[in-house]
């Protein structure tokens, strides 16, 4: 299932990048909205959460594709991802393990040790975790920025009023 979801995510990545660049440029140019200090962190938190989910789906899709490839067709054992990762250890391969959390596809050797089939799982997992943490921090920052009155306004009992 995640392998099928990974394809739309791949097509959504350029749209995500364009949206982020356009938003950052719109904030940098004169004539921006007066409430940008509150709206930009909220929007950024949402975009980072979307990036984290997208990275997780890509990693899960990659792991599922490797698992599917190792279970079907001729020349599927040992797993092609394991053969490609370490050609010198093919004689010692006895199996593989796939994990959903964190997404990984590990190759099992005859002595019980494992090695990752691809270094991409590590950096995808780290990027997904980092973007999730950054999203949470931005959401907290947006909440804090929303509670402060805007510069040039004073706080009243019912909300903010212009000076």
Q: Is residue 35 part of a domain?
A: yes
> What SS3 class is residue 54?
helix
Q: Is residue 161 part of a domain?
A: no
Other beta carbons within 10 Å of 78: 19
Q: Is residue 159 part of a domain?
A: no
pTM score of the predicted model: 0.76
H-helix segments, 36-119: 36-71, 80-85
Q: Is residue 89 part of a domain?
A: yes
Q: Write the pLDDT tens digit of every residue in 2-33.
A: 767 778 888 888 999 999 999 888 888 888 87
Per the structure, the complete domain to which residue 71 belongs is given by: 2-149
Q: In total, how many domains does the chain have?
A: 1
Task: Evaluate the CA torsion angle 2, 113, 81, 123 in order and state its sign.
Answer: positive
Q: Among 30-34, 74-78, 121-125, name the one with the lowest average pLDDT.
A: 74-78
Confirm if 6 and 57 have CB atoms less than 8 A apart.
Answer: yes
């Amino acid at each position: 299932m995640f392998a099928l979801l990974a394809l739309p995510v791949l097509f959504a990545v350029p749209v995500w990048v364009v949206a982020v660049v356009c938003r950052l440029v719109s904030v940098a140019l004169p004539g921006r909205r007066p409430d940008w200090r509150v709206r930009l962190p909220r929007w950024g938190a949402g975009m980072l959460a979307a990036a984290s989910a997208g990275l997780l789906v890509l990693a899960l899709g990659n792991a599922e594709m490797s698992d599917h490839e190792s279970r079907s067709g001729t020349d599927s054992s040992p797993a092609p991802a394991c053969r490609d990762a370490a050609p010198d250890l093919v004689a010692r391969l006895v199996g593989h393990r796939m994990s959903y959390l964190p997404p990984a596809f590990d190759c099992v050797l005859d002595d019980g040790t494992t090695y990752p089939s691809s270094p991409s799982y590590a950096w995808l997992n780290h990027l997904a975790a980092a973007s999730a943490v950054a999203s949470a921090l931005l959401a907290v920052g947006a909440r804090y920025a929303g509670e402060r009155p805007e510069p040039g306004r004073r706080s009243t009992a019912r909300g903010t009023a212009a000076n």
